[in-house]
A and B are shown apart, each in its own frame.
Chain A
């Protein structure tokens, strides 16, 4: 069965600083990998996804993520954080199971941005 680990529950960064959110996954084959963002009391929005090809993936809002098969990681990065990036971030892994795309989410990392 697939699983996702987000080791950091809370992260605080200063506005303008760089950001890296960690994500490790467990799955036997090449997975589909996602990062979603959630503002308080809202649904989730897709930031970026990886299926194959270039291991460095660009997403919306200036985010990028790098797939590293050897480390089973898919860390999310942003070079300069804005106050509006404060939210909760979820890493997810998807895999086909009986014709169904099963998506498993990590527990999330809550990002606080300080001035």
Chain B
């Protein structure tokens, strides 16, 4: 059974780059598609972007200029980078597996909290 685990710094300074990694266990990362979702404190969920097993990506238009999602198949990991962060990027960040057959997320990581503050 596929399991996901997010990791990365819990505190990032404004204007710097947020970097997170999702480690996939119980299955090959190359066989599926993957997503990043985030949730600001007390607010709803927001889709950040997808990376497909082909390596192509699709991003939320509102974040597209600042986001990069990449995959490292040798480590069975994929990553998220958000540039030029501000306090508005403070959130719980979730990695998920995404099925393009019916366009939904079926496996979720537990999430990691990132705070943007000086």
A and B: real partners?
Answer: no
